[in-house]
Structure 1
Amino acid sequence: MHIVLGTTPDDTLAAFAARAAEDPGVVGLVLSGSRVHEGMPTVHSDYDLHVILRDRQASELAGLDWFRSAHLDLVVIPLAEFRTRGMPGRPDHFARYSYVHAEVLLDRLDGAIARILDEKRRLGAEEARAAVDGWLDAYVNQTYRSLKSYRDGHPAMGHLDAAESVPHALEVLFALHRRVRPYNKYLRWELERSPLGDRRWGADRLLPVVERLLADGDPDTQRALFTDLEEAARKAGHGEVLDSWGADLELLRHS
């Protein structure tokens, strides 16, 4: 299969979308990436497009899976796989956020493509609870390891563990609000456009904390973040995870 690039990414997308729409094996087209995040596209931005097929044998476009160019990036995927892509327990769970703001360009299934997307956009209640429990335990573990290293005179290792705790903390924070953690590129964008409802989690307060932990792992900053996350987690009913750490939590609470 061959794709002819147009003069601009817009031209290339329009030509390919028209071609795909004429293919009876294509049941949906979904746009994701920076183009669906207002204010994020640059002169370097391409279009990220999911082409959804009835099955892998339904169209010759299946051969274009993972096509990459300066104008257009493709994921060509069967409907059955699209239903589960990015969901918990999948090896491609990392792809979940790509669907949060995705736009449907074509849906031949009477709204089924849109409904599948809606299931991906937000965590279900039970899914969110399990996610918070798992990530909270991982966050506490990483922070505890970091602060032990600082206490025992190994600041470089403490810094490394502090940096590794940051993704866990962000997973907890977004899951507490039944939100999918954004890719780092879109973290400020999400916090500014869809606030988490607490000033402590606003971009102007949370991002300096993240930057400080990544810069040097400052123990006082770690403890301040833990205090805020502990309060939020207990309020949401996740105290059992925290209490399982027993007296070890004292290291995270006091300098």
Structure 2
Amino acid sequence: MTIDLVLPDWLTDAHRATLVELAERNAAAHGDDLLGIVLSGSVGRDCATERSDLDVLVVLRDEAASARTTDRSPDVDEIPERWSDLLKVAPFGTEDWWYRWSFAWAPVLLDRTGGELADAVQRQARLAPDEADELLIDHDRLEGWVNFAYRALKNDRDGRALEARLDAAESVPWLLDVVFATAGRVRPYNKYLPWELRTHPLDGWPGDELLDLVVRLLDGDASAVREAFPRVRDACAAYDAGRGHSRTTDSIRGWGSELEIFAQRS
């Protein structure tokens, strides 16, 4: 059985042959229960090394997927995906939240759903407006970042270098959640952060500048904490304007006079 796949230009001949064989094998095994094939991982994002394998999501109707398990080999991880699961989006903090970014920018090689599969793949890595509000406010990612940044600056002011460095470093994942959530995107896995910033830039956060800021925060640089604050504040103001509320801005303002430390110099 011949399957017409839409294969990215950057794939090697070996990758192409492997994917064609995989698609034909699954089509023969599952017939109409095979709904699509998605290529994730480093190969799917054109940032593979010689050690990268193929991460292939085989999208099946639920009953067919239930009879399958992930098949791992040195060259290919073949992962069955239930159609009904793909149509759901896991909320922040739940067991499957971590899995959502695996669909980000992942090329759909085969779509037998008339475009529903492609839409579902894109939806996984996007935050709906209400989701972004929940992550930023209800799950305290913005409040948490301000808290760690504030603590880092207090420790720096008081001469506690190690403590300042620990708090500045711990602020980084909170900061990245805020940066990506205000853009309506799920934060990428750390491995893919430089790649995503380079290939899919964020408005207001040039990739090289954000990565430099992250490195300096990990080093405990108090000036990086102070540089990050007005950028986060501006991103939140723009986010609120787009949402028609002031929830993130109000959260920051709620710190009152404690915010003065962000304008001080150690």
TM-score with structure 2 setting the length = 0.81
1:10 positional shift: 4.2
1:217 positional shift: 0.7
For residues 170 and 120 of structure 1, the distance between their equivalents in structure 2, rounded to whole angstroms, comes to 18
Q: Is 1:52 matched with 2:59?
A: yes
For residues 148 and 226 of structure 2, the distance between their equivalents in structure 1, rounded to whole angstroms, comes to 12
* Contact persistence 2:153–2:222 (CA under 8 A): yes
* Contact persistence 2:91–2:131 (CA under 8 A): no
Q: Is 1:242 matched with 2:248?
A: no
Instruction: Give 1:210's aligned residue.
Output: 214
Q: Is 1:189 matched with 2:195?
A: yes
Secondary structure of 2:153 counterpart: helix
Compared CA separation, residues 170 and 11, structure 1 to 2 (3 A): same
Equivalences, count: 242
State the AA in 2 paired with 1:84: K
CA RMSD in angstroms comes to 2.3
For residues 95 and 10 of structure 1, the distance between their equivalents in structure 2, rounded to whole angstroms, comes to 25
* Candidates 126, 131, 150, aligned match of 1:127: 131
1:95 positional shift: 1.7
Q: Is 1:115 matched with 2:123?
A: no
Compared CA separation, residues 16 and 61, structure 1 to 2 (3 A): farther
* Contact persistence 1:29–1:52 (CA under 8 A): yes
Instruction: Give 2:235's aligned residue.
Output: 232
Note the alpha carbon deviations across 1:124-177, whole angstroms, 9 max, x for none: 222223333332111111112222222333221221111111111111112212
State the AA in 1 paired with 2:255: W
Secondary structure of 1:84 counterpart: coil
Secondary structure of 1:165 counterpart: helix
Secondary structure of 1:139 counterpart: helix
TM-score with structure 1 setting the length = 0.84
Moved more, 146-155 or 98-107: 146-155
* Contact persistence 2:176–2:187 (CA under 8 A): yes
Instruction: Give 1:166's aligned residue.
Output: 172
1:85 positional shift: 5.3
Compared CA separation, residues 219 and 9, structure 1 to 2 (3 A): same
1:242 positional shift: 0.5
Secondary structure of 1:28 counterpart: strand
* Contact persistence 1:52–1:76 (CA under 8 A): yes
Compared CA separation, residues 42 and 61, structure 1 to 2 (3 A): farther
Note the alpha carbon deviations across 1:68-126, whole angstroms, 9 max, x for none: 22211132232222222555353121122211211222333333212211322422222
User: Structure 1: which 5+ runs fail to align?
Assistant: 1-6
For residues 171 and 60 of structure 1, the distance between their equivalents in structure 2, rounded to whole angstroms, comes to 33
Instruction: Give 2:44's aligned residue.
Output: 36
For residues 122 and 181 of structure 1, the distance between their equivalents in structure 2, rounded to whole angstroms, comes to 9
State the AA in 2 paired with 1:243: R
Secondary structure of 1:58 counterpart: helix
